[in-house]
Amino acid sequence: MDDIVALAERLGKAIAASPQAAKLNAARKALEAEAETAQLLKDYNAQARKIAQLEDQQKPVEVQDKHKLEELHNRLAASQTFKSFTIAQVEYVDLMRKVNQAISRNIGEADRTRQPPAPA
C-alpha cells in the first residue's frame, strides 16, 4: 500500500507542477489582485446563493434579484481577468478529468482481468 501512496504523492506533485496548475494559480492571483473584479465575483456568488436558497425553500424569486444576478454576470463576463481565470479553470478541470479517466480505465481493466474465485 505504501507504494500506491507514494505514487499518489508523485502524481499530486506532477499535477501541481503542470502548466494547467501554473496557469490557474497565476489567474487566481491576478483575479485576487484586481479588487473590483474579485468583489464582483463575491457579489455574484452571494446573489446566486440567495436565489438558490429562495428556490430551495420554494419561495418566489423577485425580478430585481434576477436582474441583479444578470447585471453582475454581465459585468464579470466583460472582465478579461475573469475570462482568463475561467479559461484556466476549464483547462485544469479538463486535466483532472483526464487523470481520473486514466485511473478509472486502469482500475476497470484490473477488475476485468482478475480471475473470479474458484467455487468451493
State the SS3 of 84-103: HHHHHHHHHHHHHHHHHHHH
Compute the distance between CA of residue 7 and CA of residue 17 in angstroms, rounded to an integer.
15
Compute the distance between CA of residue 17 and CA of residue 22 in angstroms, rounded to an integer.
7
Which stretches in the chain have pLDDT values below 50?
none
Compute the distance between CA of residue 110 and CA of residue 58 in angstroms, rounded to an integer.
47
The reported pLDDT for the residue numbered 20 is 98
Domain ranges of the chain: 19-34+80-111, 35-78
The reported pLDDT for the residue numbered 107 is 87
Residue tagged 496548475 (cell numbers) = 21
